[in-house]
Amino acid sequence: MKKRFLSTLALAGVAAFALAACSSSGDTESSDGAAPADGGGDMITVGFAQTGSESGWRSANTESMKTAFSEDNGFDLVFNAADNDPAAQIQAVRSFINQGVDAIVIAPIVEDGWDDVLQEASDAGIPVILEDRTVSASDDLYASWVGLDFQLEGQKAGEWAAETFTEPTNMVVLEGTTGSAPANDRATGFDMAIEGTPIEKIDSQTGDFTRDGGKTVMESFLQKYGADEIDLVYAHNDDMALGAIEAIEAAGAVPGEDIMIVSIDAVHDGMQALADGKINYIVECNPLLGDKAAELVKAVLAGDSVEKRTIVEDQAFDQEAAIEALPNRSY
């Protein structure tokens, strides 16, 4: 049954780690190795293997990492963005090992396939910090991980849907990159939350976390089912939700009313769409992980004991909360 109303339910969360920001690039780059501004000794050379620049969230995450691993903070950063190619990302990590960097930070594109290269880093005595996403390899092959609880994010989105849709509802899903931790976990959390509800998932395809991908997949859903047969879109990130909005409007329907949308990230463009009523609910995924990652690198290299997992907590927003948050939003 078609729903044409906006939810005002807000899921309260705690925003933690107000961290720093810099810009995304597909090239490898390094600082000039000047002495740190605080006089703290030799520069720490860190190789950072980023996924790419697929979304607004990823750009904010790269900004945060580059600022945290700056010369002023005592780092010489070697940066590589793999354009969402897992093989290229593993090759970049091997290059860091060959260069003899002091530490490696990885935002893994996919969970699987990391065992060999992580073992190579371990054999070379180079500690690895995972940032944002996780891997399926043994956790003794990396020193620590800092990121978000992707399954809880999906669960929060699903809880909103379960409370909002109490009559038979047709839902389509815009999935993130196949095999990635956020796509896997956000699907699991959402599905658990809507189990036993009248929400039926009629289709689900990957939009690869990109706006163009979300638009293309949503266009195919609309051609297959028609706007009248789709009540809800669950997008694994804001960029795909924004692409879906374009497709829905092009089909002559009203996003947020004729077809409601719930997504994850809470980047600026997504929050603006929520404030404008085109998205109905967003669960945050905080991209500002740089300071915590840099703190972990320094601690590990100093031989200090660190937590194996550090989870940054997220908020959730309805339209009213988005309007209130936007003026002071840092990403």
19, part of any domain: no
Same domain (yes/no): 120, 242: no
Measured in whole angstroms, the distance separating CA 22 from the mean position of its chain's CA atoms is 17
Q: What is the pLDDT along the chain (331 residues), one digit of tens a residue?
A: 444 333 333 333 333 333 333 333 334 444 333 333 333 458 999 999 999 998 889 999 999 999 999 999 999 999 999 999 999 999 999 999 999 999 999 999 999 999 999 999 999 999 999 999 999 999 999 999 999 999 999 999 999 999 999 999 999 999 999 999 999 999 999 999 999 999 999 999 999 999 999 999 999 999 999 999 999 999 999 999 999 999 999 999 999 999 999 999 999 999 999 999 999 999 999 999 999 999 999 999 999 999 999 998 889 999 999 999 999 988 8
CA dihedral 149, 50, 96, 291 (to 10 degrees): -60
Residues 295 and 277 in one domain: no
Asked whether the beta carbons of 86 and 107 are under 8 A apart, the reply is no
Q: Is residue 249 part of a domain?
A: yes
Residue with tokens 């699987």: 112
133 and 158 inside one domain: no
Q: φ, ψ for residue 206 (rounded to 5)?
A: -80, 135
pLDDT computed for residue 39 by the predictor: 36
Does 218 fall in a domain? yes
| H-helix segments, 195-289 | 211-225, 238-250, 268-275
Same domain, 126 and 217: no
Q: Helices marked H in 69-126 — which ranges?
A: 86-99, 115-123
> Domain span at residue 297?
29-148+287-312
- Using DSSP's 3-state secondary structure scheme, residue 32 falls into coil
Locate the DSSP E strands across the chain: 29-30, 44-50, 75-81, 103-106, 128-132, 144-147, 169-175, 199-206, 232-235, 260-265, 281-284, 309-311, 316-317
Residue with tokens 């939700």: 241
Query: Residues 98, 212: one domain?
Result: no
Question: pLDDT of 140-185, one tens digit each?
Answer: 999 999 999 999 999 999 999 999 999 999 999 999 999 999 999 9
The answer to the question of residue 15 being in a domain is: no
Note whether residue 295 is domain-resident.
yes
Same domain, 183 and 274: yes
User: Quick check: is 11 in a domain?
Assistant: no
Is residue 21 assigned to a domain? no
Domain assignment present for residue 161? The answer is yes
Distance in angstroms (rounded) separating the CA atoms of residues 77 and 68: 10
Q: In terms of domains, do 216 and 291 share one?
A: no
Residue 41: φ, ψ to 5°: 105, -160
- Going by C-alpha positions, the residue among 20, 276, 281 that lies closest to residue 160 is 281
My answer on whether 142 and 227 are in the same domain is no
Say yes or no: 58 and 99 in one domain. yes
Residue 277 exposed, middle or buried by CB count within 10 Å (0-12, 13-18, 19+): middle
Tokens of 99: 């260069």
As beta bridge partners, residue 145 has 130, 309
CATH number of the domain where residue 207 is located: 3.40.50.2300
Phi and psi angles of residue 277, each rounded to the nearest 5 degrees, phi first: 85, 10
Q: How many domains does the chain have?
A: 2
Burial 191-218 (b: 16+ CB within 10 A, else e): bebbeebebebbeebbbbbbbebbbbbb
Q: At what angle do helices 211-225 and 238-250 cross, to 10 degrees?
A: 40
Q: Are residues 140 and 154 in the same domain?
A: no
166, 77: one domain: no
Q: Is 276 helix (H, G, I), strand (E, B) or coil?
A: coil
Q: Are 156 and 317 in contact (CB under 8 A)?
A: no
